[in-house]
């Protein structure tokens, strides 16, 4: 009798656990869930990440995400808190955004404040110590005046000294333009236009990533632009008269711009260390790239790509960059991971992660640790996938606290990675 009762309880527990786990996997595909489903999903995901590797691997097999043949061949697959070399504590901090139509947001840090901006142009701030130490966020919505009311979304944010910038798509009577706005960081953000690229775009505008950069002793901002929409490769990336399909430098003083590189499909991340620029780029179907950006170089799009067309089989891409006088990527992900933002991680984070960058992904729902030979960032040795379980749009390293913040797009939460070693 007791034995039967034990097996009954065990069976019920296993059934509940399987339901939780299946729910976790399949809701990953949706970024717009009712609040009660988000709470349920977050609970199931936190349970899932604490399970033994063998159980997690078994579940991936049951859900069709991994072949049965991998069950006993996944000794190299790690789940947080474990990675190949160090242990990371992962915490999820709730944000409670009111506008849940699209939970895309961007992270900045100013002094002791965490500043978060969503795609609709709402700005929030919270005390950084509360976020890191107490693992909670008490947001205050910032007051804004002169915010551009043109249709379109925010693509990225950047803080330089005491000024916050954002890139934005603006629609002028059917003419979509890429613009940058600026405001001094005060109690009220008074935004003014910093740079408007006058060229209209026929294909949907994307990219828009921002980074501070010094170009021949001139302080400025780098901004990425795109030239594709799935099977519509565009014609601007190789056009020297166009700003699209480029990485562009904008002088902070004169506001003049200069093309740094061309031949880009959709650069979704950019990071700078000294005079070295690294970028990530969405390929077509496959072929997500990591590039080392060199002034005056051509990165091949839409002539060369290691990806394939989505539907249009008549499209053909050359599968070699170098043979056609283009710059080869440092690394290519095939299949695509939905590559997004990257950071160049200081060696102080952990000596075992020396000469590393971290790359975020959307479809991959993971962080990818990329190991370089040295800080010239010219050669990649290997990469390690670190599964998070969410689309990750943005990532920031907080030097004085030695922690990493993640923008988790499915739930709108802030992820916190802490070095446990």
Domain end position, chosen among 34, 67, 100 = 67
Q: Are strands 143-145 and 188-190 parallel, antiparallel or unpaired?
A: parallel
Q: Give the per-residue pLDDT at 86.
A: 94
Contact present, 304 and 298 (Cβ < 8 Å): no
Selection from 13, 87, 90, 77 nearest residue 46 by Cα: 90
Number of domains observed in the structure of the chain = 2
Q: Give the per-residue pLDDT at 206.
A: 87
Any bridge partners for residue 404, and if so which? Answer: 397, 417
Contact present, 231 and 203 (Cβ < 8 Å): no
CA separation for the pair 69, 62 (Å, rounded) = 12
Measure CA 83 to chain center.
Answer: 20
In terms of domains, do 142 and 18 share one? Answer: no
Residue 81 within any structural domain of the chain: no
Selection from 391, 387, 385 nearest residue 413 by Cα: 391
Residue 220 within any structural domain of the chain: yes
Selection from 267, 367, 366, 365 nearest residue 357 by Cα: 367
Instruction: Copy the structure tokens of residue 264.
Output: 């880009």
Radius of gyration of the chain, Cα coordinates, nearest whole angstrom = 22
In terms of domains, do 101 and 144 share one? Answer: yes
Instruction: Copy the structure tokens of residue 71.
Output: 């069950």
Instruction: Give the number of residues written for the chain.
Output: 421
| H or E segment to which residue 50 belongs | helix 35-50
CA separation for the pair 164, 407 (Å, rounded) = 18
Q: Give the per-residue pLDDT at 30.
A: 47
Residue 74 within any structural domain of the chain: no
Q: Give the per-residue pLDDT at 94.
A: 84
The CATH number of whichever domain residue 362 belongs to comes to: 2.120.10.30
Residue 102 within any structural domain of the chain: yes
Contact present, 28 and 338 (Cβ < 8 Å): no
In terms of domains, do 277 and 380 share one? Answer: yes
| Residues of the domain holding 32 | 2-67
Domain end position, chosen among 12, 35, 67 = 67
Instruction: Copy the structure tokens of residue 355.
Output: 């000469």
pTM of the predicted model, to two decimals?
Answer: 0.84
Q: Give the per-residue pLDDT at 177.
A: 92
In terms of domains, do 61 and 105 share one? Answer: no
Q: Provide the 8-state DSSP code for 134.
A: I
Residue 392 within any structural domain of the chain: yes
Cis peptide before 222 (omega within 30 of 0): no
Q: Provide the 8-state DSSP code for 4.
A: H
Residue 80 within any structural domain of the chain: no
In terms of domains, do 101 and 247 share one? Answer: yes
In terms of domains, do 100 and 49 share one? Answer: no
| Residue 51, Cβ density class (10 Å: 0-12 exposed, 13-18 middle, ≥19 buried) | middle
CA separation for the pair 201, 207 (Å, rounded) = 13
Residue 79 within any structural domain of the chain: no
Residue 83 within any structural domain of the chain: no
In terms of domains, do 332 and 264 share one? Answer: yes
CA separation for the pair 394, 417 (Å, rounded) = 13
In terms of domains, do 61 and 95 share one? Answer: no
pLDDT in tens, the chain (421 residues): 555 665 666 666 666 666 655 555 554 444 445 554 555 556 666 666 666 655 666 666 666 655 555 555 555 567 788 899 999 999 998 887 666 667 899 999 999 999 999 998 999 999 998 888 877 788 899 999 888 866 788 999 999 999 999 999 988 888 889 999 999 999 899 999 999 999 988 678 889 999 999 999 999 999 999 998 666 667 799 999 999 999 999 999 999 999 999 999 999 999 999 999 999 999 998 899 999 999 999 999 999 999 988 877 778 888 889 998 999 999 999 999 999 999 999 999 999 999 999 999 999 899 999 999 999 999 999 999 999 989 999 999 999 899 999 999 988 899 999 998 7
In terms of domains, do 117 and 214 share one? Answer: yes
**Residue 281 CB neighbours (<10 A):** 27
Instruction: Copy the structure tokens of residue 52.
Output: 């033994």
Instruction: Copy the structure tokens of residue 415.
Output: 């992820």
Q: Are strands 163-172 and 154-160 parallel, antiparallel or unpaired?
A: antiparallel
Task: Tell me the torsion sign for CA atoms 313, 317, 319, 323.
Answer: positive
In terms of domains, do 36 and 165 share one? Answer: no
In terms of domains, do 37 and 132 share one? Answer: no
In terms of domains, do 302 and 398 share one? Answer: yes
């Amino acid at each position: 009798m007791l034995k039967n009762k034990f097996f009954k309880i065990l069976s019920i527990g296993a059934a509940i656990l399987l339901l939780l786990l299946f729910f976790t996997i399949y809701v990953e595909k949706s970024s717009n869930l009712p609040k009660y489903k988000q709470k349920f999903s977050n609970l199931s995901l936190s349970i899932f990440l604490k399970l033994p590797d063998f159980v997690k691997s078994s579940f991936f097999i049951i859900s069709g995400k991994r072949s049965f043949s991998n069950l006993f061949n996944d000794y190299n697959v790690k789940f947080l808190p474990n990675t190949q070399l160090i242990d990371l504590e992962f915490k999820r901090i709730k944000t409670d955004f009111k506008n849940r139509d699209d939970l895309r947001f961007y992270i900045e840090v100013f002094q002791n404040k965490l500043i978060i901006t969503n795609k609709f142009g709402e700005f929030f701030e919270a005390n950084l110590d509360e976020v890191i130490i107490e693992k909670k966020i008490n947001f205050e919505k910032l007051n804004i005046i002169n915010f551009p009311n043109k249709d379109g979304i925010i693509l990225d944010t950047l803080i330089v000294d005491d000024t916050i910038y954002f890139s934005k798509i603006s629609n002028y009577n059917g003419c979509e333009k890429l613009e940058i706005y600026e405001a001094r960081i005060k109690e009220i953000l008074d935004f003014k236009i910093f740079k408007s690229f006058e060229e209209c775009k026929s294909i949907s505008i994307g990219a828009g990533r921002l980074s501070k950069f010094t170009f021949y002793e001139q302080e400025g901002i780098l901004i990425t632009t795109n030239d594709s929409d799935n099977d519509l490769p565009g014609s601007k990336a190789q056009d020297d008269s166009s700003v699209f399909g480029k990485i562009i430098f904008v002088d902070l003083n004169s506001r003049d711009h200069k093309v740094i590189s061309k031949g880009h499909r959709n650069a979704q991340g950019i990071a700078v260390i000294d005079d070295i620029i690294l970028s990530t780029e969405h390929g077509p179907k496959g072929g997500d790239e990591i590039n080392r950006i060199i002034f005056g170089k051509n990165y091949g799009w839409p002539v060369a790509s290691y990806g394939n067309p989505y539907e249009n089989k008549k499209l053909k891409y050359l599968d070699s960059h170098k043979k056609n006088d283009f710059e080869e990527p440092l690394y290519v992900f095939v299949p695509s991971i939905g590559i997004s933002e990257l950071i160049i991680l200081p060696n102080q984070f952990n000596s075992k992660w020396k000469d590393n960058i971290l790359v975020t992904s959307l479809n991959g729902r993971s962080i990818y640790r990329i190991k370089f030979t040295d800080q010239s960032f010219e050669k990649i040795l290997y990469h390690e996938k670190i599964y998070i379980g969410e689309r990750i749009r943005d990532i920031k390293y907080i030097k004085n606290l030695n922690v990493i913040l993640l923008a988790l797009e499915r739930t709108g939460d802030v992820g916190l990675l802490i070095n446990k070693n």
